């Protein structure tokens, strides 16, 4: 039996609630499947750790994480006590950058049992491939002068290597799906980086003759995701555009609380990190009503990544069965608790494997 050593960082707020729920589900699948098991090691890193020690993770945190197969993270953030730029850059973004998790994969799909706020969702099912290491979120720029003369400069960095990597990842993904990639651009407004982005999309696209290609400006794309989301298969986007589009993806599914994500180290040199799209939701933390589906679906993405796609499909089916039965947390208009949703998912899984 294969054993996977997983580093667990529940983080802050509802991260501490949804991560144990998803681990229950993954352990159950492992037990029922019988081919693999998980060995979880939990690290108490996050804002509480920062308030005690002055840093979000220990100095050798990255070295510690390198010893694990993958990382399973909840959410970070305690904005009332720790500024967001400290909490996110001190842990989440540090891990993404230093472990070269250069691709962020975020699916959005109309789930059975969950009405979309859209009038005509038409069974949409798309995946956003977001460049995760550079672009508009590059640490390049500075601030000079003060008062009326103050200047802030933020450079967007687009390397050929990073851009090609994102494009290739998107095309490879589309080959195994419905064979279409849409590129999110803004070359009518951004004069250097986006025309470059378009050129690389066109060049890499030539390597994938059988895959359809469309380029949409980001403003039009935001409109299309609401008006005709079923038109999309794989969308490739820069760091900022992908970040925004995927919150929209969560919203049209019904709640940000169900949206999953994976940060992939494409070279396989470092662990990849699996974390839902949502944050630490301080407004509902500690009440047992957080929606665990985003974290559970993120666990399914980890299983897919490890090569157990059938087991992953069982998890998604269990989520849809739970929603179809009307067992929903308040963010989806229901009254169920996190525990009730998790138990329903576990129960359905038992029935699948019987
Ligand atoms: N990946 C991450 O760790 C991550 C991502 C986004 C935000 N954050 C951080 O989280 C903190 C709060 O940020 P925010 O309020 O902008 O975003 P958020 O995603 O935490 O919450 C936005 C809204 O969605 C709701 N929500 C989110 N997840 C939910 C779930 N699983 N179940 C039910 N409702 C859910 C919240 O209650 C809130 O009303 C900030 O510190 C922010 O920086 C972290």
pLDDT digits (tens, 9 = 90+) for 258-310: 999 999 999 999 999 999 999 999 999 999 999 999 999 999 999 999 999 99
Shared-domain flag, residues 246 and 274: no
Give the atom of ligand 1 at the shortest distance from the alpha carbon of 77: 41
Q: Using the 3D structure, point to which of 253, 275, 309 is the last residue of a domain.
A: 253
* Cα gap 261→274, rounded to integer Å: 6
* Cα gap 9→46, rounded to integer Å: 8
Shared-domain flag, residues 166 and 216: yes
Residue span of the structural domain in which 3 resides: 1-105+259-354
Which of 77, 114, 298, 337 to probe ligand 1 with, by most ligand atoms within 8 A of CB? 77
CA of 281 to the centre of ligand 1 (A): 4
Q: Using the 3D structure, point to which of 205, 232, 253 is the last residue of a domain.
A: 253
Shared-domain flag, residues 223 and 268: no
From the centroid of its chain, how far is CA 300?
12
Q: Is the CB–ligand 1 distance for residue 92 below 6 Å?
A: yes
Q: Is the CB–ligand 1 distance for residue 332 below 6 Å?
A: no
Q: Is residue 151 situated within a structural domain?
A: yes
Shared-domain flag, residues 128 and 236: yes
Shared-domain flag, residues 162 and 283: no
Shared-domain flag, residues 127 and 242: yes
Instruction: Output the residue whose Cα is nearest ligand 1's atom 15.
Output: 281
Q: Is the CB–ligand 1 distance for residue 290 below 6 Å?
A: yes
Q: At what angle do helices 309-324 and 338-353 cross, to 10 degrees?
A: 130
Strand arrangement of the beta sheet that strand 36-42 belongs to: 36-42, 2-11, 70-75, 272-274, 262-264, 103-109, 125-131, 234-237, 180-185, 212-217
Q: Is the CB–ligand 1 distance for residue 278 below 6 Å?
A: yes
What predicted TM-score, i.e. pTM, was given to this entire model? 0.95
Shared-domain flag, residues 83 and 143: no
CA of 263 to the centre of ligand 1 (A): 18
* Cα gap 79→219, rounded to integer Å: 30
Q: Is residue 142 situated within a structural domain?
A: yes
Q: Is residue 110 situated within a structural domain?
A: no
Nearest to 233 by CA among 186, 146, 174, 158: 174
pLDDT in tens, the chain (354 residues): 999 999 999 999 999 999 999 999 999 999 999 999 999 999 999 999 999 999 999 999 999 999 999 999 999 999 999 999 999 999 999 999 999 999 999 999 999 999 999 999 999 999 999 999 999 999 999 999 999 999 999 999 999 999 999 999 999 999 999 999 999 999 999 999 999 999 999 999 999 999 999 999 999 999 999 999 999 999 999 999 999 999 999 999 999 999 999 999 999 999 999 999 999 999 999 999 999 999 999 999 999 999 999 999 999 999 999 999 999 999 999 999 999 999 999 999 999 988
Q: Is residue 111 situated within a structural domain?
A: no
CB 235 within 8 A of CB 124: no
Instruction: Output the residue whose Cα is nearest ligand 1's atom 10.
Output: 279
Q: Is the CB–ligand 1 distance for residue 258 below 6 Å?
A: no
Task: Enter the DSSP assignment of 331.
Answer: G
Which three-class secondary structure state does DSSP give residue 121?
A: coil
Residue 311 belongs to a domain with what CATH number?
Answer: 3.40.718.10
Q: Is residue 48 situated within a structural domain?
A: yes
CA of 6 to the centre of ligand 1 (A): 24
Q: Is the CB–ligand 1 distance for residue 328 below 6 Å?
A: no
Q: Using the 3D structure, point to which of 202, 221, 253 is the last residue of a domain.
A: 253
42 phi, psi to nearest 5 deg:
-95, 135
Shared-domain flag, residues 170 and 222: yes
* Cα gap 279→76, rounded to integer Å: 6
Nearest to 221 by CA among 253, 256, 250, 245: 245
Shared-domain flag, residues 287 and 323: yes
Q: Is residue 238 situated within a structural domain?
A: yes
Shared-domain flag, residues 291 and 333: yes
Domain count, the chain: 2
HSE (CB half, 13 Å, CA atoms) of 259? Answer: 27
Q: At what angle do helices 338-353 and 15-33 cross, to 10 degrees?
A: 10
pLDDT of residue 354: 82
pLDDT digits (tens, 9 = 90+) for 167-209: 999 999 999 999 999 999 999 999 999 999 999 999 999 999 9
Shared-domain flag, residues 159 and 93: no
Q: Is residue 81 situated within a structural domain?
A: yes
Q: Is the CB–ligand 1 distance for residue 64 below 6 Å?
A: no
Q: Is residue 59 situated within a structural domain?
A: yes
Shared-domain flag, residues 241 and 353: no
């Amino acid at each position: 039996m294969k054993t996977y050593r997983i580093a667990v960082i529940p983080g802050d707020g509802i991260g501490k609630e949804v991560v144990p729920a998803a681990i229950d589900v993954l352990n159950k699948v492992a037990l029922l499947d019988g081919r693999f098991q998980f060995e979880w090691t939990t690290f108490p890193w996050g804002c509480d750790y920062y308030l005690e020690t002055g840093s979000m993770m220990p100095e050798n945190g990255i070295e510690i994480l390198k010893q694990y197969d993958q990382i399973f993270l909840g959410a970070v953030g305690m904005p009332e006590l720790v500024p967001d730029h400290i909490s996110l850059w001190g842990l989440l973004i540090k891990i993404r950058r230093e472990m070269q998790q250069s691709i962020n994969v975020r699916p959005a799909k109309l789930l059975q049992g969950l009405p979309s706020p859209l009038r005509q969702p038409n069974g949409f099912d798309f995946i956003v491939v977001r460049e995760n290491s550079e672009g508009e979120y590059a640490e390049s720029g500075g601030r000079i002068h003060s008062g009326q003369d103050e200047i802030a400069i933020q450079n967007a960095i687009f390397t050929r290597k990073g851009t090609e990597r994102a494009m290739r990842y998107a095309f490879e993904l589309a080959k195994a799906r419905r064979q279409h990639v849409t590129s999110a651009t803004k070359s009518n407004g951004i004069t250097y980086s986006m025309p470059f982005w378009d050129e690389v999309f066109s060049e890499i696209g030539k390597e994938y003759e059988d895959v359809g290609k469309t380029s949409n400006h980001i403003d039009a794309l935001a409109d299309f995701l609401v008006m005709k989301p079923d038109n999309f298969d794989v969308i490739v986007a820069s760091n900022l555009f992908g970040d925004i589009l995927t919150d929209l993806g969560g919203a049209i599914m019904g709640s940000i609380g169900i949206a999953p994500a994976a940060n992939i180290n494409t070279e396989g040199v470092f662990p990849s990190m699996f974390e839902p799209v949502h944050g630490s939701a301080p407004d509902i933390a500690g009440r047992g009503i957080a929606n665990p589906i985003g974290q559970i679906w993120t666990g399914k993405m980890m299983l897919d990544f490890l090569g157990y796609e059938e087991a992953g499909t069982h998890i998604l089916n269990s989520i849809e069965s739970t929603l179809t039965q009307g067992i929903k947390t308040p963010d989806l208009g229901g009254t169920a608790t996190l525990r009730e949703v998790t138990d329903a998912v576990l129960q359905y899984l038992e029935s699948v494997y019987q």
